[in-house]
Chain A
Amino acid sequence: MENFEPEIVAFCCHYCAYTAADMAGSKRISYPSNVKIIRVPCTGKVDALHLMKALEKGADGVYVAGCLEGDCHFKNGNIRAKARVERVQKFLEELGWETERVTMLNMSAGMGEVFAKTAKEFTEKIKTLGPNPVKLRKTKAV
């Protein structure tokens, strides 16, 4: 488990977190390459099914990064996304999975440092949790 490098899927809002990631790049602030970004027009576009499918296909952690609360470009897409993340967390809890594998983050477009910091923190947290149980079983089977 020492060399465990998690695969993390980040659904990032075009108007904030995605731009923040870009900002981090422009400022030469590095963040873990484990984080694979999927740009969405608004986190309100992210469905609970997208989060579940990501886990089902082996992602070790999934997060949704939207605008600061009250600042959504589409008024309340980030609030809806937060509710969906909580729904998936409830599913995971019922299944006996670690709910921390899915989380919601908020930041503005100018927060390049915050994007990098949260990406690092989330990656570290997932490293402590270990691989997605789905992958673990597959590896054992091999």
Chain B
Amino acid sequence: MITAEQKPLQEIIGYIAPYGKILVVGCNECVTVCAAGGRKEVGLLASAIHLDRLKQGKTIDIKEITLERQCDPEYVEELVSSVGEVDAIVSMACGCGVQTIASRYKVPVFPAVNTKFMGASKSQGIWEERCQGCGDCMLGITGGICPVARCSKSLLNGPCGGTSDGQCEISPDTPCAWRLIWERLVELGIEDRYEELNMAKDWRPAGGAGPRRIIREDLA
């Protein structure tokens, strides 16, 4: 999923300072799972904005809506009846959701979260990066552990000299991806695969050739 974290409150409050009627829009997908922008977080943010305005002796009308998915125009269309009544929109979705709303409505849209990375849940409240969307998945030859996302240098053929006790030199909390890959290959009994060289990667599908697009002609 796409992970995100709420922005500092003062930054959000700064965005909406000139406005008296705002719409806070959450998303039921990834940001709900990573507890950054779901229905509950929408309620908390609205409450915090209220507290701030009331302390200043001002008022603000806040409408709260959480869409099934903010990155699909069909769901964003559901805001049509509410948008006319507000001066600005605060989106708690990832950057994709914010942009989908911005492309549909002529109302200022502000992000309330910082979109982080494509990650997986390690345990309750902990998410770790697992994929960089390189467009040419090599998990099939690395034992299911991604060197692009999990090696700090995205090395393709074994670890660098910065490995220390199996951990990456950037932090003792970060395991060396190539140590993990080696252990996994040994576990699976296919360590001879480690000897196979990976050629230099074509980074164009990873975004090196500009914004990416998928067109499925059977669906489009």
Q: Which residues of A contact B (CB under 8 A)?
A: 47-49, 52-53, 55-56, 91, 94-97, 133-134, 137-138, 140-141
Contact = CB atoms under 8 A, between A and B. Distances in A.
Contact of A56 (B9, B10, B40, B54): B54
Contacts, number: 44
Contact of A95 (B40, B43, B52, B57): B52
B16 to A, nearest CB: 14
Interface residues of B, number: 15
Contact of B44 (A91, A133, A138): A91
Contact of A49 (B8, B47, B54, B57): B47
Contact of B9 (A47, A94, A134, A138): A94
B137 interface: no
A52 B55 contact: no
A49 to B, nearest CB: 5
Interface of B: 8-10, 40, 43-44, 47-48, 50-52, 54-57
Given A56-B50, A56-B54, A134-B54, 4 more contacts: A52-B47, A95-B55, A97-B51, A137-B56
B43 A134 contact: no
Given A49-B44, A94-B8, A95-B9, A137 B57 contact: yes
Contacts of A52: 43-44, 47-48, 51
B61 to A, nearest CB: 14
A48 B44 contact: yes
